[in-house]
Amino acid sequence: MTPMRSVRALEASPGIARARRRVPENPISDLFFGMTTAASSPTREQPYVLGTGNDESFRLGLQHRLWSNAAFDLWLRAGVQPGMRVLDLGCGPGHASLDMAQIVGAEGRVVGVDESAAFLKQLGQESEARKLHNIDRVLGDAQKLDHCLPSPATDDYFDIAYTRWVFCFVASPSEVVKGLRRVLRPGGKLLIQDYFNYEHSITLAPRREAFSRAIAAVGQSWRARGGNPDIMGELPRMLRRNGFTIEHLDVRQRIARPGTSMWQWPWTFFNSFLPKLVESGFLAKSDCDAALKEMADAITDDGAYMLLPPVFEIIAVKE
């Protein structure tokens, strides 16, 4: 595995004078990337429910492209700009990290944290291919930022923390919030895009029974691993209680019609994930087959469409 860069490498960047002044000489890099082997990895026992294989990686790339306009709008609204230090928490293969690295430029820095070494490796390969040298990768659990972004070196460190579709998969969201509060500078902004009312929103129109059962199974599988597809219902209050002001709260609700590019989002998700739910016992094989057939049938039904899960967005400012 390509060695991942440490935040010490980040500090060596010529444009980060402010960081060099503030971060102690005491090296923290061992903590950052002593994590290149499974034995020393601080990651969770319950891995990411959607998997880290090639199919999920491909799906995340497509998903990013379909939702990149929402991400760019949020970054623009929050004032992400050249020279900033950005944390991409739960970055996956880093599609958003790569975009933000171009926005913050050579004087800025993006640190991608994820619990998947496979995804981080892909981010490393892609940043090399694009000749982006301002991205650091950190393997670790978002719920234990003290391990992977240790204090005091990263206290008040980031201007922006971005986290998309990660809170819905963690068992201890308040630990994530506390960690993010520590690493953001006062006035720094936390940008979140995630779900609320997921299971009750996704609907094939006209309604289909097996598909509805499949959605319920998706929610159950996330919850069984500690996740919460309703997390954006709780986050604003959790953020207020942890010293953040909510500057912006909104939702993007979309539909997908067969034959449009947006249709690829649910199509790739359900075709890849429902068979996994059968393997893990959350969904009967007959319901999986029936739900996928209902989606396939919708393609030849002129009037069919799908109501997609609402993606909520928050900009919260560290007080």
Q: Where on the chain is the footprint of ligand SAM (CB under 6 A)?
A: 44, 48, 60, 64, 90-92, 95-96, 114-116, 119, 141-143, 164-166, 169-170
* Residue 279 near residue 250 (C-beta atoms within 8 A): no
**Residue number, nearest CB to ligand SAM:** 92
Strand partners, 250: 313
User: What is the C-alpha separation between 236 and 228, in angstroms, rounded?
Assistant: 15
By beta-carbon proximity to ligand SAM, the closer residue of 99 and 107 is 99
By beta-carbon proximity to ligand SAM, the closer residue of 161 and 204 is 161
Instruction: Give me the least distance between CB of 64 and ligand SAM, in Å please.
Output: 5
By beta-carbon proximity to ligand SAM, the closer residue of 273 and 305 is 273
Q: What angle do CA 294, 297, 303 make, to 5 degrees?
A: 105
Strands 158-164 and 244-252: unpaired
Instruction: Give me the least distance between CB of 14 and ligand SAM, in Å please.
Output: 29
By beta-carbon proximity to ligand SAM, the closer residue of 56 and 287 is 56
Instruction: Give me the least distance between CB of 226 and ligand SAM, in Å please.
Output: 9
User: What is the C-alpha separation between 58 and 100, in angstroms, rounded?
Assistant: 20
| Phi, psi for residue 135 in degrees, rounded to 5 | -120, 130
DSSP conformation letters of 266-286: HHHHHHHHHHHHHHTTSS-HH
Instruction: Give me the least distance between CB of 210 and ligand SAM, in Å please.
Output: 24
By beta-carbon proximity to ligand SAM, the closer residue of 48 and 305 is 48
* Residue 239 near residue 316 (C-beta atoms within 8 A): yes
By beta-carbon proximity to ligand SAM, the closer residue of 90 and 309 is 90
Instruction: Give me the least distance between CB of 146 and ligand SAM, in Å please.
Output: 13
By beta-carbon proximity to ligand SAM, the closer residue of 141 and 159 is 141
Question: Of how many residues is the chain composed?
Answer: 319
Instruction: Give me the least distance between CB of 308 and ligand SAM, in Å please.
Output: 15
Instruction: Give me the least distance between CB of 297 and ligand SAM, in Å please.
Output: 28
Q: Is the peptide bond before 229 cis (omega within 30 degrees of 0)?
A: no
Retrieve residue 70's tokens.
């929402």
DSSP 8-state class, residue 249:
E
By beta-carbon proximity to ligand SAM, the closer residue of 70 and 216 is 70
Instruction: Give me the least distance between CB of 26 and ligand SAM, in Å please.
Output: 25
Torsion sign (Cα): 155, 157, 158, 162? negative
DSSP 8-state class, residue 108:
S
Strands 203-205 and 305-307: antiparallel
Strand partners, 12: none
